[in-house]
Amino acid sequence: MRKFFLGVIFCLCASVAAATEVTIAALGDSLTQGYGLPADQGFVPQLGVWLADHEGDSGAISGVEVALINAGVSGDTTAGGAARAAWTLTPEVDALIVALGGNDMLRGLDPGVARANLEAILQAAQQAGVAVLLVGMQAPGNYGPAYKAEFDAIYPDLAAQYGALYAESFFAGLEGLRDDPAALGHYMQTDGIHPNAKGVTRIVAALGPKVLDLVARAQGG
């Protein structure tokens, strides 16, 4: 009888432990993958450290073990992300960070196509019952005002349509430096496109609170 009760207690403890685990997949391109950085300094590993350091900042994440999956592929477009969405959303995934569109924009691809691809990802997540944080991108002005307006509108529109959490910009942590190229250079790699490790730290600090909200939503909070 004593062994029976010990077995019941063990099973209950195991159930509680399982209930406190949240797995987040970060679906993105080189910015997510960690291009040009040591393995422990990319976006995903730095986000993991930030979440651990800020566990007490949110009741929803207190005592929760968050596992992060790096589903970033360097050079990927929204089309690539849409093609990978189904097998990224494995049964253990509870939440999804979507940070795609930068390469579509850099190549001047049709914003309508990017919208359709991102919508396909959100639909796949919805069907899987997975909470989503959609991270926005902004097009530069050199493609013209019409292109910029159409591209920039994709993210808030889709977030509202699908009830996803929304972060306005992946680079929000560096926005205050945009008008000072010399200062911004301290946080960028030599290509001027990808952040260095210090830049990623600022990016993670800005996006981190949104990820805490994502954890809460994944838990049904």
Return d(Cα 8, Cα 1) in angstroms, integer: 11
- List the structure tokens of 61: 């994440």
Return d(Cα 30, Cα 100) in angstroms, integer: 9
Told to judge if 191 belongs to the known catalytic residues of this protein, a careful annotator would answer: yes
| CA atoms within a 13 Å half-sphere pointing along the CA-CB vector of 96 | 35
* Strands in the chain per DSSP E: 21-28, 65-72, 95-99, 131-135, 165-167
Told to judge if 194 belongs to the known catalytic residues of this protein, a careful annotator would answer: yes
* Active-site residue (options: 29, 76, 194, 213): 194
User: Long-range contacts for 54-61 (Cβ within 8 Å, ≥24 apart)?
Assistant: 54/208, 54/212, 57/209, 57/212, 58/212, 58/215, 58/216, 60/212, 60/215, 60/216, 60/219, 60/221, 61/212, 61/215, 61/216
* Active-site residue (options: 29, 30, 104, 152): 30
CA angle 210, 211, 214 (to 5 degrees): 95
Return d(Cα 52, Cα 66) in angstroms, integer: 8
For the chain, report the end-to-end CA distance as a whole number of angstroms.
38
- List the structure tokens of 187: 């946080």
Question: Would you name the residues annotated as active-site residues?
Answer: 30, 191, 194
